[in-house]
Structure 1
């Protein structure tokens, strides 16, 4: 590829990351408008499935995408994932009822599962090892900013145009990405075709769906001790065991066991899971604090999160620049997690009357910590494996982060509700606070604040575990060469 082709391809990759990140975070603020338009009577009950089915489809498809890239070449799978995502986006915008929209979100999620991971694989092919810090750091930077900016953009589209535009806006961007990718990308292809472990992919997808349904339904739709939740837990355990057995017996497993013989990946995977676990609590429950305790509207809560976005941007850009100049990644990873632990601990002291500038300072420090962490673990994992395992290594780390985020959402939700119930017995809903008498409302706000503080304290503990793992991580400086064992020589372009 020429330098101009690489620059255009890199632009397409960044735009793909924008599509992936925004769509995960942009729907929430449009939810009320969607229900009002499509099903004002019964749509509220099915509203959570707009988020859930996308997450289920994207997570279930993740492990398969990595193997497909390693077998068929990243270009084909990258363009296919974008095309599938665009088809789902168009169907979402055209939906006339909640059932059609939920089905379209499933299609969109199947494509969306490959947008982030496959794009990171393409970036890894485009950038040599010494440049991956800048490229991966930019991807992580966009991920962090998307968590903050997505809800704000969703609110703006909904208020000024229509909720359908949160899906239609994907189409021109995605078509540009497809045109650029088809015209510029010249990536290595494996040549001889290998078998894909579709039974293994089905088992891990089913196990992930069972686990995500437990985290989504547990304590909300069904009691934790209900037959439904217990059956899902049992199904997850059985499916996970069957998947692990399959990986040791399949000729070409979807998740090769030799990945876990690498000392870097043995630590990187649980490290990314804990990071995802802690990060989601920090962001989701900051929004709950703002909306419930401080009475900030949904769209306005995005403005309160701008200090976090600024922290992510500053630290991500600075660390990416220094690492690309040859500095080791480990000090930045350790420093970022230490800063995130300190910021989460500070956020655990929030009160009902904490000043906006103090909250902004805490969120800036939290963002600065995350900016040093996001994207680095994936880049470390990519540099630790031969080219033949680049796809499965990347998607494995992303899979760990996704599961960590799902578990964090569920566990922290249980923590919040238990603390609130303990301090205010009989209180059964955050949405009812505004209608309570003054004295009771003040007690309810104090209880919710105490619950959010406990969530942040737990988040600090989880991130402290990630910090310990980061301190144990051994980071190599060199990339395996394409002539190394297990790294095939490219024979064609695709």
Structure 2
């Protein structure tokens, strides 16, 4: 792909359709560094809280706090998913720099409020505020990276994979370790306060250094469409979070949420056909690469949920490994992502197209999930580490590539919507994967395990407990088979991608 943009030019066309100010090499490098640190913050913050839930509960609400842990974890995800479509439209409307600064500032306010919380209720509310900002840390940062690279910048193909693999791998390894270390040696509050000095530095650098285009014409924002998208995504996440666990799938609460989500989706789709400037233009789905990219991202999101959550459950429940030690099993996965990240740019120079990256990544991840499906109660832990290493290599090949494919194929003035749309579909995939895999595990366990449900396993003793562990392992094997099938479906879709993704 030939280079068509020179940063030495005083003004040139940009992905947003505006005019790009002159950007020096120094400003560009600092901009990339700002983006790297921001992505690292986003990846770390996704899993840093999981390592400190026990100290948090013991400090804030030792009597009833355990029951509120799911809300502590999901509040961030719910808020993040709700604002993703709006972030994309704002990037295309007022410019990515303003949205980036606003997202980072909101994230910092939420982090400060989390650290100062005096009750579980306050912490959950503050975590939601943090999630509103966190929804933009990854998605808007990818828009900023695309604009720093410029349209048609051939260096971006390998660089995106290299950056994504390295940072995601480092964040995955650092998150649980950092959370556990801060909680044990300082205070759980520092898992939130640690964001402040880093985030303030990012904010200051972004304000002073980032030189990004501004949309030449102000546009209206479809706030009603954004609200309907938020209502649908929150309903879907709550159904998958509560269904089969807190409430039966046939309960009025789950049926009401599912019905409300379906109505919100129908209204949202209708709104997108009638709004003057829709929040997620349906015309984008007419572009084959965009349509395929969104679908593959959703399937990858669902399969990732099976890979991470159920490996951790297996290690802790079946093998009796403590949560902190189980988190260290993510290190091989992070190593795989990091190694592929280091190799991505070299592979790109040797002729690997983005289609090749996506196809190889989905096949490797499907193979790793298939191998995990052979796990028994006595499987070597080193074998599991090797399978997670392969899983990390597969995901490392995918990180950044799908987003870049979508960015390259989407119309220039819809870069922000296309970028956050990919992240939005991954989030929805996570939610659907959680619901489907949880149901599969419960059904398999209930058909052969003692005690009726997985929640009763901890109360079993002797032979009944051994039978329950075997039944749970069998259920997880089925989950991994389904996840491998989902990833294989993503690989089939990847074969339909063009060898390159020229911008329209």
Aligned counterparts, 1:328-339, within 5 A: 328-339=353-364
TM-score, scaled relative to structure 1: 0.94
Aligned counterparts, 1:418-437, within 5 A: 418-430=443-455, 432-433=457-458, 436-437=460-461
Structure 1 window deviating more from structure 2 (247-256 vs 140-149): it is: 140-149
SS in 2 for 1:402: helix
Are 2:405 and 2:501, in contact at CA under 8 Å, matched by a contact in 1?
A: no
SS in 2 for 1:130: coil
Are 1:264 and 1:475, in contact at CA under 8 Å, matched by a contact in 2?
A: no
Q: Report the CA distance between 1:140 and its aligned residue.
A: 4.6
Tell me the distance in 1 between the aligned counterparts of 2:399 and 2:234: 25
Q: Does structure 1 residue 217 correspond to structure 2 residue 242?
A: yes
In the alignment, which residue of structure 1 is the partner of 2:210? 185
TM-score, scaled relative to structure 2: 0.92
Output the aligned Cα RMSD.
1.5
Are 2:164 and 2:396, in contact at CA under 8 Å, matched by a contact in 1?
A: no
Q: Given the superposition, is the C-alpha separation of residues 472 and 185 from structure 1 closer, same or farther in structure 2, using an over 3 Å criterion?
A: same
Q: Give the counterpart of 1:303 among 328, 331, 341.
A: 328
In the alignment, which residue of structure 2 is the partner of 1:31? 53
Q: Report the CA distance between 1:93 and its aligned residue.
A: 0.1
In the alignment, which residue of structure 2 is the partner of 1:471? 495
Q: Does structure 1 residue 234 correspond to structure 2 residue 234?
A: no
Tell me the distance in 1 between the aligned counterparts of 2:142 and 2:211: 16
In the alignment, which residue of structure 2 is the partner of 1:348? 373
Q: Does structure 1 residue 44 correspond to structure 2 residue 66?
A: yes
Q: Does structure 1 residue 78 correspond to structure 2 residue 100?
A: yes
In the alignment, which residue of structure 1 is the partner of 2:32? 10
In the alignment, which residue of structure 1 is the partner of 2:313? 288
Tell me the distance in 2 between the aligned counterparts of 1:6 and 1:476: 26
Tell me the distance in 2 between the aligned counterparts of 1:436 and 1:242: 48
Aligned counterparts, 1:350-369, within 5 A: 350-369=375-394
Tell me the distance in 2 between the aligned counterparts of 1:288 and 1:413: 12
Q: Given the superposition, is the C-alpha separation of residues 239 and 477 from structure 1 closer, same or farther in structure 2, using an over 3 Å criterion?
A: closer
Q: Report the CA distance between 1:20 and its aligned residue.
A: 1.0
Q: Report the CA distance between 1:475 and its aligned residue.
A: 4.4
Tell me the distance in 2 between the aligned counterparts of 1:95 and 1:325: 52
Aligned counterparts, 1:371-390, within 5 A: 371-390=396-415
In the alignment, which residue of structure 1 is the partner of 2:442? 417
In the alignment, which residue of structure 2 is the partner of 1:447? 471
In the alignment, which residue of structure 1 is the partner of 2:420? 395
Tell me the distance in 1 between the aligned counterparts of 2:249 and 2:302: 20
Stretches of 4+ aligned residues off by more than 4 angstroms: 429-432
In the alignment, which residue of structure 1 is the partner of 2:118? 96
Q: Report the CA distance between 1:401 and its aligned residue.
A: 0.3
The number of equivalent residue pairs is 479
Structure 1 residue ranges without an equivalent (≥5): 481-494
SS in 1 for 2:154: helix
